[in-house]
Chain A
Amino acid sequence: MNFELNEEQQMIRQAARDYAQRELIKDVIERDEKAIYPAEHIKKLSELGFLGMLVDPKYDGGGMDTVSYVLAIEEFSKVDSSIGVIISVNNSLVCYGIESFGTEEQKQKWLKPLARGEKIGAFLLSEPGAGSDATSQKTTAIDMGDYYLVNGVKNWITNGNSASTYIVIVQTHKEKGHKGINALLVDKYSPGITVGVHENKMGMRSSDTHSIQFTDVKVPKENRLGDDGFGFKFAMKTLEGGRIGIASQALGLASGAFELATKYAKERKAFGTEIINHQAIAFKLADMATEIEAARLLCLKAAWLKDKGLPFGNASAMAKLYAADTAMKVTTEAVQIHGGYGYVKEYHVERMMRDAKLTQIYEGTSEIQKIVISRAIANDDL
């Protein structure tokens, strides 16, 4: 066992912290309020290499390990979890998917600009009638010989408008069920693609969420990731890694809210003493700190397994389940500790509470994580 971070991991955490505390903090309230996509920040963060930090340097990535990735996403999300999800989707869904399952040509063409952050990626799985139940895809890709003809609608797409590279999960052979599903690399600017309105969300408001409509979109065969029918497995494998990103984002929300609550509790006085000296507040903080530490260990364990090349699907499901629930609980308590101040935007914690809710829903709801974990238990595969 070794819980020590190496020097590079510490440096990356510090770099992310510096950027978050120095830059993201300045306009996070305004971006949330007006639902502004953080284009300038994403540009600077791609210059720093965070958009493709997990990608092998030979494809222009940062070559960092997943442990560093957890640390970075946590630091960004402490201040602005929308940044956390934008980086997470680009790295662990889109880049990871292409790097793990793409051909050399696909990596050269699609992965490199994503790793450099020149292009942003989006992962198009959810549909109006198919969220958690990924097998009932309605978006079709008909095999036309040398290309697929894609029709359908994708929903709740993070980076939907800001991304220019889409990975789209489609149904090619309906009769084959989940073995008839494919994953296609699609350029957003292909004829027939319409980006729907920006969803007016409760939280995570500065990440742009859209529905995307496909009308007779021609996608070359060479854009298919993996063999014919590999799409379902592709999506499941990729989401396993994605969960580490969302778990870290939830972790950041929790630890960020905890830091604010602690600071407030040490300054705010009631009944003649700082409220941290009242047991009702002190015990809340003790619970919060303990749960955050547990969530952090789960995230780092999943990352460590992935870095070792060991199976990490169950660990990442546990990390996401626990970190998301912790984020919801801790941010709610942080608002409570702040009292009236917690309910106004200036004090950040109400935003974090709204943001936290989404971590229990997207990239597999908490219930889906429980399915993953419980099936592993049933199959003696935990």
Chain B
Amino acid sequence: MSVLVYIENFGGKLKKQNFELASFASKLAESTNSTAKALVLGTINNAEIEKLNQFGIEKIIKVEGESFNIRINKVFTQVIEEVVLKENVSMVLFPDNNTGKALAPRLSVRLRAGFVSGVVSLPESYNPFIIIKRAFSGKAFAKVKINTPTKILSLAINSFGLHEKPVTLKIEYFETQVSFADVPIKMVERKVSENKVSLFDADIVVSGGRGMRGPENWKPLEDLATVLGAATACSRPVSDDGWRSHDEHVGQTGKIIAPNLYIAVGISGATQHVAGVSRSKCLVAINTDSDAPIFEVANYGILGDVQKILPKLTEAFKAFKGD
């Protein structure tokens, strides 16, 4: 038996979330006396994927070919199915992100295998198979039982962390029988900026709300983000009013993120906003209003004028980084 983890290929690179997923897969394998294997599609150096050996992956199944650099969900699912059947897989693991959301449900139907998304910890039991997932946008957790022999899970990013376990790894090439020819969908254009820190990947996120008092005041917030190597985000009213782009909106109906550190600047903390950031490891709130609900969910709070505090905070972090 084996556990298969789907390793998303980020333009020839791996990201921290791949290693977290590998760590999770290797723990699952350990608990079920099986082998942790990884599947990766498209163009990527072996040197890059070999890094997975630090996290308990013993075998990588590699499906090469430029056509796999664009995710066509229908085709990718069929490839994953082939590998699952060939490798005698009992558990398939995806990241709970756009890619996982696109592929895992399709695979669930193909394999008639129960799928639980947004898993936050290792299974509570394996027989029966019971696992905990996030529900009600972070306001609750659900214990779910999977009834089928094969299980599909997607792991909430940054919920498990990295667990090193160096092993020997081998790479195996897989020739798929699946073709793109009869799928009536094609990519016609691609606009990707490589250097911007994605909100989902960022370890640290600095986020601004109405308390910033206008788009012209964002410079000090961006300075802080630069010093921290952080991504920038904002609350809903800020994106609704066009102060910042919709891509930056985090919250229940925007992006749901779980960085290590979330710094909420001038954000009052409406329940819808908190739902989008409640899985952050550590939350710092800066606000002028001591009664702002954000202080109820924050780990650390600073009371005061955000425009005065931001530059001082940037200086403090600069000094720390300088040490």
Complex interface: chain B residues within 8 A of A26 (CB): 241
Contact B241 A267 (CB under 8 A): no
CB distance from A66 to the nearest CB of B (A): 33
Check A269 for interface membership: any CB of B closer than 8 A.
yes
Chain A residues with CB under 8 A of B291: 267-269
Per-position 1/0 for A233-266, Cβ under 8 A of B: 0000000000000000000000000000000000
Least Cβ distance of B262 to chain A in Å? 22
Interface size on A, residues (CB 8 A): 4
Main secondary structure of the interface of B (DSSP, over half): loop
Closest CB of chain A to B270's CB: distance in Å?
12
Contact string against A for B residues 282-309, beta-carbon threshold 8 Å, 1 for contact and 0 otherwise: 0000000011010000000000000000
C-alpha gap A269/B290 in the complex (Å): 9
User: Which interface residue of A26, A267, A268 has the most chain B CB atoms within 10 A?
Assistant: A267
Nearest to A263 among chain B residues (CB) is B291
Q: How far is the CB of B3 from chain A (nearest CB, A)?
A: 47
- Taken together as a complex, chains A and B put the C-alpha atoms of A163 and B291 apart, in Å, by 44
| Minimum Cβ distance to chain A for residue B241 (Å) | 7
Q: Which residues of B contact A267 (CB under 8 A)?
A: 291, 293
A276 → B minimal CB distance (Å): 12
Q: Which residue of A lies closest to B290 (CB)?
A: A269
CA–CA, A26 and B242, complex, Å: 13
B293 to A, closest residue via Cβ: A267
Residue of A nearest to B291 (CB): A267
Contacts of B290 in A (CB 8 A): 269
- Which of chain A's residues 346-360 have a Cβ closer than 8 Å to chain B? none
* Distance between Cα atoms of A26 and B241 in the complex (Å): 9
Q: In the docked arrangement, what's the CA distance between A14 and B291, Å?
A: 28
Question: Which residues from B are CB-within-8-Å of A268?
Answer: 291
Per-position 1/0 for A64-76, Cβ under 8 A of B: 0000000000000
A233 to chain B, nearest CB (A): 49
In residues 238-293 of chain B, which contact A (Cβ within 8 Å)?
A: 241, 290-291, 293
Closest chain B residue, CB of each to CB of A274: B291
User: In the docked arrangement, what's the CA distance between A58 and B241, Å?
Assistant: 38
Q: What's the least CB distance linking B294 to chain A, in Å?
A: 12
In angstroms, Cα B293 to Cα A267, docked, is 8
How many Å lie between the Cα of A267 and that of B268 in the bound state?
A: 12
Nearest-neighbour CB distance to chain A for B209, whole angstroms, equals 15
Contacts of A269 in B (CB 8 A): 290-291
From A267, which residue of chain B is reached at the shortest CB distance? Answer: B291
Residues of A within 8 A of B293 (CB): 267
Distance in angstroms from B268 CB to nearest chain A CB is 10
- Separation in Å of the B18 CB from the closest CB of chain A? 40
How many whole Å from B219's CB to the nearest CB in chain A? 24
User: What is the distance, in angstroms, from B274's C-beta to the closest C-beta of chain A?
Assistant: 15
When C-beta atoms are compared, the residue in chain A nearest to B292 turns out to be: A267
Q: From residue A41, how far is it (CB to closest CB) to chain B in Å? A: 16
**How far does the Cβ of A341 sit from chain B's closest Cβ, in whole Å?**
10
Closest to A264 in B: B291
How many Å from the CB of B164 to the closest CB on chain A? Answer: 45
B289 to chain A: closest residue by CB: A267
CB distance from A79 to the nearest CB of B (A): 15
Contact bitstring B145-178, A, C-beta under 8 A = 1, else 0: 0000000000000000000000000000000000
Q: Please, what's the 1-or-0 string for A253-294, where 1 marks a CB less than 8 Å from any CB in chain B?
A: 000000000000001110000000000000000000000000
Cα(A26)–Cα(B210), bound, Å? 11
CB-CB contacts below 8 Å: A299-349 with B: none
Q: In this complex, what residue of B is CB-closest to A26?
A: B241
**Cβ distance B287 to chain A, nearest Cβ, rounded Å:** 12
CA distance A267 to B287 in the complex (A): 14
Contacts of B241 in A (CB 8 A): 26
Q: Please, which residue of chain A has its CB at the minimum distance from the CB of B240?
A: A22
- A266's closest neighbor in chain B, by CB? B291
Residues 114-153 (chain A) with a chain B CB within 8 angstroms: none
Complex Cα distance, B290 from A152, in Å, reads 57
Interface string of A10-42 (1 = CB under 8 A from B): 000000000000000010000000000000000
Report 6 cross-chain contacts, Cβ distance below 8 Å, ordered by A residue: A26-B241, A267-B291, A267-B293, A268-B291, A269-B290, A269-B291
Chain B residues with CB under 8 Å of chain A are 241, 290-291, 293
Chain A residues packing against B (C-beta within 8 Å): 26, 267-269
* A-B complex: 6 closest residue pairs judged by Cβ atoms: A267-B291, A268-B291, A269-B291, A26-B241, A267-B293, A269-B290
